[in-house]
Amino acid sequence: MLRPMDLSPIAALRPHYEDDHGLLILELSHGKANEMGSPQLDAFDALCDLLETEASISCLCTTSRRFSKRGTAIFIAGANVTERVGWQDAQVKAHVRRQRALMQRLRRLPLFTTVLSHGVTLGWGAEFVLTADYALATPAASFALPETGLGILPGARGTAELAQALGLAQALRLGCTGEAVDGLEAARIGLVQEVVADVDVGLDRVRELAKRLRRRSPTAIAAYKRALLEAQGEAEERRLMVEAAAYELCVDSGEAAIGRANFAAIRAGEAPPWGSRTVK
């Protein structure tokens, strides 16, 4: 089990670790509206450092129970643009390049990641949803990309990935018009994968997934995820090469032998003594 001191570098993200499920929950609550500024980016960088090395964590869930003074639910209300007052163009570009690299790093974490949106999810928040392996939303969730109305565009990986996830027409609708969509519409167009009644129901659903993950090889999960991501958009020959390398990593790491030796126990729903996660 992780000691509380192990989570101190990511304290700004309000982490809570459930050892029984191998589930790390981030319950965001900072600033005026969970806006993302430099301190939060630092915490997310530290989060990646942790998750890239700590194999006992098999599932990540980022959510929030935050409400505005007017009673509006908030997930992530975009980037913290107020901290950029007085910045020169070069500083803004470097800052967004950092965000883009962080989003790519989050997308490629070697474990299963989830997002549970309950409330306003704007700009950076919507781009963050794209980093998750599986996204859930409540009926109170709303998603929008306001950037083109501010003279910019979704620059933290959103423009690069939105059409891949939603198709060109939906990406153009959201990015060009800034139109907001609720949780049900977000599920219909593929921005999220599941709608749940509220945060508690959503967390219970994530715990169900985490229990399943806990019984599986962390190496096999990491290899499968990396192979899927690396194969996107590649020709069949390249996709098969990526698959072969991932499969053979599972064999070379010894995980396949553990699976064979414990086949009966696995079929009974038990978790065998998997090794530490291997990603290389």
Rounded to a whole number, what is the distance in angstroms from the first to the last CA of the chain?
25
Please state whether beta strands 120-122 and 142-144 pair in parallel, antiparallel, or not at all (unpaired). Answer: parallel
For residues 127 and 52, give the distance between their C-alpha atoms in angstroms, rounded to a whole number: 21
The set of catalytic residues is 127, 147
For residues 212 and 205, give the distance between their C-alpha atoms in angstroms, rounded to a whole number: 11
